[in-house]
Amino acid sequence: IFTQEVYTVSLRENQPVGFLVLQLVASDKDEGSNAQIRYYFSNIPLSANQKFSLDSTRGMISLVEPLDFEESTEYVMTVAAKDGGGSITHCKVEVKVLDENDNVPEIIFATVFSP
């Protein structure tokens, strides 16, 4: 069982690759090999799959590609946790991307001709 049904995280778009986004925790009352939990994305859009990785044994979601607020302001994915006995539980992860002032100013020169 996950400690939450929905996890919501806000990240600045300039977070470095490798940044730990979230540590998921699921618990299981079984013992032995049945208590070993594996995490995996059970529903993830391609755009999110390119940005995030999930450590299957530790439940850690990390950033594998830079975020860009102008490209996407939010990523929503479903994570499953499966124990050694085959029981599965799910949670939803929402990552909101925060805008940073990362665009250089543009200078436009207008030339005016007068006769």
pLDDT tens-place string over residues 3-15: 899 999 999 999 9
Name every residue whose Cβ is closer than 8 Å to that of residue 33 and which is 6 or more positions away in sequence.
Answer: 84
Q: What DSSP state is assigned to residue 32?
A: G
Quick one: pLDDT band at residue 71, thresholds 50, 70, 90? very high
Question: DSSP string of 49-111?
Answer: HHHEEE-TTT-EEEE-S---TTT-SEEEEEEEEE-TTS-EEEEEEEEEEEP---SPP------
> Domains plus CATH for the chain?
6-98 (2.60.40.60)
| Phi, psi at 93, each rounded to 5° | -120, 125
